[in-house]
Amino acid sequence: MASIRFGKKAIPLPNSRTARTAIGGGFLLGGVLGFLPILGFWMVPVGLVVLSHDSPRVRRIRRKSEVALLRRWAKFRSKGVAAAK
Protein backbone atom coordinates (compact mmCIF):
# COMPACT_ATOMS: atom_id res chain seq x y z
CA MET A 1 0.00 0.00 0.00
CA ALA A 2 1.34 3.41 -0.96
CA SER A 3 1.86 6.01 1.74
CA ILE A 4 3.43 9.40 2.27
CA ARG A 5 5.94 9.60 5.10
CA PHE A 6 6.62 12.75 7.12
CA GLY A 7 9.26 11.79 9.66
CA LYS A 8 7.72 9.00 11.72
CA LYS A 9 4.16 9.65 10.50
CA ALA A 10 2.78 7.74 7.51
CA ILE A 11 -0.36 8.83 5.68
CA PRO A 12 -1.88 6.00 3.62
CA LEU A 13 -2.88 6.58 0.01
CA PRO A 14 -5.53 4.64 -1.92
CA ASN A 15 -4.44 1.49 -3.74
CA SER A 16 -6.08 2.66 -6.98
CA ARG A 17 -3.78 4.58 -9.31
CA THR A 18 -6.78 6.53 -10.62
CA ALA A 19 -7.73 7.64 -7.11
CA ARG A 20 -4.14 8.72 -6.32
CA THR A 21 -3.98 10.69 -9.58
CA ALA A 22 -7.32 12.36 -8.82
CA ILE A 23 -6.22 13.28 -5.29
CA GLY A 24 -2.87 14.65 -6.50
CA GLY A 25 -4.56 16.60 -9.29
CA GLY A 26 -7.09 17.95 -6.83
CA PHE A 27 -4.34 19.19 -4.55
CA LEU A 28 -2.59 20.85 -7.50
CA LEU A 29 -5.80 22.50 -8.62
CA GLY A 30 -6.47 23.71 -5.08
CA GLY A 31 -2.93 25.07 -4.88
CA VAL A 32 -3.37 27.04 -8.09
CA LEU A 33 -6.45 28.60 -6.48
CA GLY A 34 -4.42 29.34 -3.34
CA PHE A 35 -5.58 32.93 -3.10
CA LEU A 36 -9.00 31.68 -1.96
CA PRO A 37 -9.59 31.52 1.83
CA ILE A 38 -9.59 27.76 2.53
CA LEU A 39 -7.29 26.63 -0.26
CA GLY A 40 -3.62 27.46 -0.06
CA PHE A 41 -0.37 27.35 -1.94
CA TRP A 42 0.76 24.58 0.46
CA MET A 43 -1.37 22.21 -1.63
CA VAL A 44 1.01 22.33 -4.63
CA PRO A 45 3.90 20.41 -3.01
CA VAL A 46 1.49 17.93 -1.42
CA GLY A 47 -0.08 17.28 -4.82
CA LEU A 48 3.34 16.75 -6.38
CA VAL A 49 4.29 14.25 -3.66
CA VAL A 50 1.08 12.29 -4.23
CA LEU A 51 1.54 12.32 -8.00
CA SER A 52 5.20 11.27 -7.67
CA HIS A 53 4.08 7.79 -6.63
CA ASP A 54 2.82 7.10 -10.16
CA SER A 55 4.56 9.53 -12.52
CA PRO A 56 8.29 9.16 -13.27
CA ARG A 57 8.50 12.76 -14.51
CA VAL A 58 7.03 14.20 -11.30
CA ARG A 59 9.16 11.80 -9.23
CA ARG A 60 12.29 13.12 -10.94
CA ILE A 61 11.32 16.74 -10.23
CA ARG A 62 10.55 15.90 -6.59
CA ARG A 63 13.86 14.12 -6.08
CA LYS A 64 15.89 16.94 -7.66
CA SER A 65 14.16 19.57 -5.55
CA GLU A 66 14.55 17.43 -2.42
CA VAL A 67 18.30 17.04 -3.02
CA ALA A 68 18.69 20.77 -3.68
CA LEU A 69 16.75 21.63 -0.51
CA LEU A 70 18.81 19.25 1.63
CA ARG A 71 22.06 20.66 0.21
CA ARG A 72 20.92 24.19 1.04
CA TRP A 73 19.94 23.07 4.53
CA ALA A 74 23.33 21.43 5.09
CA LYS A 75 25.09 24.57 3.84
CA PHE A 76 22.96 26.74 6.12
CA ARG A 77 23.67 24.49 9.11
CA SER A 78 27.42 24.50 8.49
CA LYS A 79 27.47 28.32 8.32
CA GLY A 80 25.60 28.51 11.62
CA VAL A 81 28.07 26.18 13.35
CA ALA A 82 31.06 28.11 11.98
CA ALA A 83 29.59 31.44 13.12
CA ALA A 84 28.96 30.10 16.64
CA LYS A 85 32.63 29.21 17.18
For the stretch 52-79, pLDDT in tens is 888 899 889 889 988 999 999 999 988 8
Query: What is the reported pLDDT for 64?
Result: 92
Query: What is the reported pLDDT for 40?
Result: 84
Sorted by where each begins, the domain ranges of the chain are 3-84
Average pLDDT over residues 25-52: 86
CB atoms within 10 A of CB 52: 19
Q: pLDDT confidence of 82, banded at 50, 70, 90?
A: low
pLDDT of 5 > 90? The answer is no
Computed over every residue of the chain, the mean pLDDT equals: 86
Question: Which residues share a beta bridge with 5?
Answer: 10
- Report phi then psi at 70, rounded to 5: -65, -35
